[in-house]
């Protein structure tokens, strides 16, 4: 928004959306329209995209950032727990992309940025559900880039590592992050929301016109050096859940 976009933000919780829209408008002076929607419900998406187009007149950029996550060993995931995360992350990304493509991008071109993660790259312990969903999104990104490229649609993934002050970090053990863990990261710090905003800004800009169907990893090198020991991580989870 600081770079000139008016924005529609969507989520399940109207109260949180309204609060966020007010903050974003106040910070940037741009228009922000909050629309309630669940990415798992196609009929709600169709209505939301119609509403967005009626209010804004056009869509240039779609950012798919909806994600559900928690730490759990694969063997303790219920069938519904795995399905829920797949539906929010992978199905949600497909559902929204399809509707925006059909209603607008097919005739006007556009840009899709899917926010994934680095979990799937090394089979991160306690993250079978989220990693499987993010891997599906990365494959989907390639398929859509191939099929929609001729319509002037670029499709990209941005894969953040640990980002401070986010719901994801809070739920995935952020409060137990120690200096020693941070020192494992090559750039010696975790990411910020600004870092990810800047990366997405580059990806959607004219400076990145050749980029499509691929993933930009924005994690300060974290996935190259992060510890990934299942036995130790499971023990850590058990310890923290007792605190
Ligand atoms: C095991 C769990 C669980 C947990 C929920 N479930 N939390 N299982 N451990 N901690 C199970 C439930 O028991 C249920 O299965 C099933 O998941 C669905 O749960 P519901 O609460 O009914 O579903 P819903 O409200 O739709 O969504 C649940 C949720 C959601 C996916 C957990 O509340 C959520 O994700 N909130 C967090 C959002 C978030 O943090 N997003 C950012 C993610 S960051 P049963 O069998 O009992 O019915 C991210 C990036 C990672 O993903 C990168 C990090 C580096």
Q: How confident is the model at residue 28 (pLDDT cuts 50, 70, 90)?
A: very high
Average pLDDT in the 102-113 region?
Answer: 98
Answer whether 10's CB lies under 8 Å from 36's CB.
yes
Q: What is the pLDDT of residue 180?
A: 87
Spacing of C-alpha 164 from chain mean position: 15
The protein residue with its alpha carbon nearest to ligand 1, atom 28, reads 68
CB 100 within 8 A of CB 62: yes
Q: How far is the CA of 213 from the centre of ligand 1 (A)?
A: 28
pLDDT digit string (tens) for 79-93? 999 999 999 999 999
Q: Hey, what domains does the chain have and what are their CATH numbers?
A: 59-241 (3.40.50.720)
CB 112 within 8 Å of CB 155? yes
Mean pLDDT of the 175-198 span: 94
By DSSP bridging, strand 32-36 and strand 110-115 are: unpaired
What residue ranges line ligand 1, CB within 6 angstroms?
A: 67-70, 72, 78, 80-81, 84-85, 88, 117, 119, 130, 161-162, 167-168, 171-172
Digit-coded pLDDT (tens) for 154-172: 999 999 999 999 988 888 8
Which among 156, 158, 136 has a CA at the least distance from the CA of 148?
Answer: 156
pLDDT tens digits for 188-216? 999 999 999 999 999 999 999 999 999 99
The pTM (predicted TM-score) of the whole model is: 0.96
85 alpha carbon – ligand 1 mean position (Å)? 7
CA distances from 219 to 112, 126, 151, 174 (A): 20, 19, 31, 15
Centroid of ligand 1 to alpha carbon of 211 (angstroms): 32
């Amino acid at each position: 928004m600081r770079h000139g976009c008016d924005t529609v933000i969507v989520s399940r919780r109207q109260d949180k959306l309204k609060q966020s829209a007010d903050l974003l408008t106040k910070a940037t002076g741009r228009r922000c329209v909050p629309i309630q929607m669940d990415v798992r419900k196609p009929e709600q998406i169709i209505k939301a995209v119609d509403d967005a187009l009626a209010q804004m007149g056009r869509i240039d950029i779609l950012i798919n950032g909806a994600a559900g996550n928690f730490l759990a060993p694969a063997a303790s995931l219920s069938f519904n727990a795995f399905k829920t995360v797949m539906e929010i992350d992978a199905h949600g990304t497909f559902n929204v992309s399809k509707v925006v493509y059909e209603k607008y991008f097919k005739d006007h071109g556009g840009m899709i940025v899917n926010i994934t993660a680095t979990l799937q790259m090394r089979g991160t312990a306690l993250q079978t559900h989220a990693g499987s969903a993010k891997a599906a999104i990365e494959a989907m990104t390639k398929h859509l880039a191939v099929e929609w490229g001729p319509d002037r649609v670029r499709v990209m993934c941005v894969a953040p590592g640990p980002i401070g002050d986010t719901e994801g970090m809070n739920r995935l053990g952020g409060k137990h992050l120690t200096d020693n863990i941070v020192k494992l990261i090559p750039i010696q710090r975790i990411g910020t929301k600004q870092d990810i905003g800047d990366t997405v800004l580059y990806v959607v800009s004219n400076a990145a016109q050749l980029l499509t169907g691929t993933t930009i990893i924005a994690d300060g090198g974290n996935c190259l050096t992060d510890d990934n020991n299942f036995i130790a991580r499971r023990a850590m989870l058990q310890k923290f859940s007792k605190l």
